[in-house]
Amino acid sequence: KSQYHPGTSLETALNGTGVYTMVSAKKVNGAWNIYSTLNDGKNKTETIILSTAKENYANYTYLGAGNDPKDAKKNGFIMGLSNFSGPVAWDRQCPNCLEQYGGTNYPLEWTGNRQSVICDKCKRIYSLEYGTISSGGKSKSDKPLMQYRVTYGGKGTDIYVGN
């Protein structure tokens, strides 16, 4: 609910084309903490504490395919505003490594231009504009990023990301 948390990096990512944020969550002292790291080059993670009963009713444990209890910031999804497709959300795990090796420990990280992400294991680079592989592809059977639906009506409204 962005109405309870105006001006956060979540809203920033959905209101500027080419701006993306890595989003994850962890329950701390009975309240869900949402972690958001923008692609602005500052490598600063904002912690948004969900402080209302309505916000804490939902379970955010399984944000995305990853589920690393030791480091919640490696889980989740990447959300932002693309130039041509509007709001998008991509899973933060490398879909090709998930398929090839199993498990869920293949988090994607920002590349130098921060409009793409890279998998440290396979070195594939994925475009955040389209979710496709832009470098390091191995074959025609390579998979693009896993995409989630995003519903967002503008500043101060609810943000929904899901299947």
162 within a domain of the structure (yes/no)? no
| 149 confidence band (pLDDT: 50, 70, 90) | very high
> Which secondary structure element, helix H or strand E, spans residue 149, and what is its range?
strand 147-152
What CATH number does residue 128 fall under?
2.102.10
157 within a domain of the structure (yes/no)? no
From CA 153, how far away is CA 89, in angstroms rounded? 15
Strand intervals (E) in 10-121: 20-28, 31-38, 45-49, 77-82, 86-91, 108-110, 116-119
110 within a domain of the structure (yes/no)? yes
96 within a domain of the structure (yes/no)? yes
The residue among 71 and 18 whose pLDDT is bigger is 18
6 within a domain of the structure (yes/no)? no
143 within a domain of the structure (yes/no)? yes
163 within a domain of the structure (yes/no)? no
Tokens of 162: 């899901």
143-149 average pLDDT score: 97
From CA 146, how far away is CA 107, in angstroms rounded? 13
161 within a domain of the structure (yes/no)? no
Q: What percent of the chain has pLDDT over 70?
A: 95
Q: List Cβ neighbours of 126 (8 Å cut-off, separation of 6 or more).
A: 90, 108, 116, 117, 118, 119, 132, 133, 134, 144, 145
pLDDT for the residue 138: 82
What is the pLDDT of the chain when averaged over all its residues?
A: 91
The number of domains in the chain is 1
| Phi then psi dihedrals of residue 81, to 5 deg | -115, 110
Residue 70, domain extent: 11-150
